[in-house]
């Protein structure tokens, strides 16, 4: 006896159509406005093992978009130099028309 035969109600629910049909709708656009500056901060560190860790990322009026985490990780990789030290970036984030990101502001060590 297979599970399909033993549990037909589970199998039926698995293959049942969704109660909300969203096919044909465009994906929501979670991209930042070109050349708009978003004010915010990034708290980050580099672990003793060398891993980069963005602890907290906050930017006013900026919704998450697919490549944002990649941009943050690249930024952190360039600035987290000393393992175990915590850093704070305060400034702005902006995306140029060609898609290149820009972080502008100050990075300072945080005394813990």
Output the 3-class SS for 9-41. HHHHHHHCCCCCCCCCCCCCCCCCCCCCCEEEE
Is 88 within a domain? Answer: yes
- Render pLDDT for 47-64 as a digit per residue (tens, 0 to 9): 988 899 999 999 998 887
Residue 19 has pLDDT above 50, yes or no: no
Domain that holds residue 45: 31-110
Domain for residue 5, yes or no?
A: no
Tell me the pLDDT band of 101, cut-offs 50, 70 and 90: very high
**Does the pTM of the predicted model rise above 0.85?**
no
Q: Is 25 inside any structural domain? A: no
pLDDT for the residue numbered 63: 84
Tell me, yes or no, whether 4 lies in a domain. no
Pairs from 23-32 (Cβ < 8 Å, separation ≥ 24)? 30/63, 30/64, 30/65, 30/66, 31/65, 31/95, 32/62, 32/65, 32/93, 32/94, 32/95
Q: Decide if 87 is inside a domain.
A: yes
Q: Provide the domain count of the chain.
A: 1
Within-domain flag for 18:
no
Highest mean pLDDT, choosing among 49-53, 82-86, 89-93: 89-93
Range with lowest mean pLDDT among 20-24, 40-44, 90-94, 101-105? 20-24
Residue 14 belongs to a domain: no
Domain assignment present for 63: yes
């Amino acid at each position: 006896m297979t599970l399909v035969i033993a549990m037909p109600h589970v199998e039926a629910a698995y293959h049942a159509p969704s109660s909300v049909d969203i096919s044909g709708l465009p994906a929501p656009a979670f991209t930042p406005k070109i050349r708009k500056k978003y004010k915010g901060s990034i708290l980050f560190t580099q672990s003793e093992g060398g891993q980069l860790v963005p602890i907290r990322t906050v930017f006013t009026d900026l919704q998450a978009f697919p490549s944002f985490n990649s941009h943050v990780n690249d930024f952190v990789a360039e600035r987290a130099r000393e393992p175990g030290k915590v850093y704070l970036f305060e400034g702005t984030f902006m995306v140029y028309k060609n898609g290149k990101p820009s972080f502008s502001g100050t990075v300072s060590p945080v005394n813990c």
